[in-house]
Amino acid sequence: MNTTTAASGARRPALRPALLLPVIGLLAACGTQPAPSASSPHPSAFPRPDRLASSFPEGHVQYGLSPSPRPSPSASSCPASGLRVQAEEAEAAMGLRVLGVRLVNCGETSRTIRGRPGVRVLDGDGEPLEVEILHKVSEIALIGGLDDAPAPVPLDPGESAVARLVWRNTVTDPTVPAATGSAVEIDPLGDREPRTVPAHLDLGNTGRLAVSPWAPVPR
């Protein structure tokens, strides 16, 4: 037997160094990543707060946060009376609703207001709903400062007063349809010159709404 021939037949061909170099270079390129620069921001798994807030639909109430005030109308919208009425964003928690109604002295003379505003709740057709108006907020909820005795509120030009409308979105009788107001008619001085402002009031079917006295708004 020729052992030299058998050994040479089992021998594998050797790889040439020229073929190994491209393979080694390719592996080195795949296993190396450029180090991030110190100035590049680190990606976050959570959305930024400003992006998260912008994802809410308009009018969405974020619980635990004070609602942003609505933009004030321009000075050209001041009525002849010199007093402008506007509704704030409603605050909601656990079925309790609080809506601020603001009275702005947009005129050029000082005014003094007293008492509570007259209030009527209107439906989507502008018709008044059957709602009992209460002058004690404590009949709806205990909220500090809203049951203080009415007092004169002087308003210089540009100053404001606010009254709070308080109700509960409660359904006590499933056979009675829930009432929903689309606007409130506000008589700020009790002089039978009401102003109507859009507002959403989901009153349930309790049919009760409490109104606080006017109080000054700190500038």
Torsion sign, CA atoms 140, 141, 146, 147: positive
In tens digits, the chain (219 residues) has pLDDT values of: 444 444 444 455 454 544 444 444 444 444 555 554 444 444 444 333 333 333 333 333 333 333 434 444 444 589 988 999 999 988 888 789 999 999 999 999 999 999 999 999 999 999 999 999 999 999 999 999 999 999 999 999 999 999 999 999 988 888 888 899 999 999 998 877 899 999 999 999 889 999 999 999 987
Q: Which domains does the chain have, with CATH numbers?
A: 79-216 (2.60.40)
Tell me the backbone φ, ψ of residue 215, rounded to 5 degrees.
-140, 145
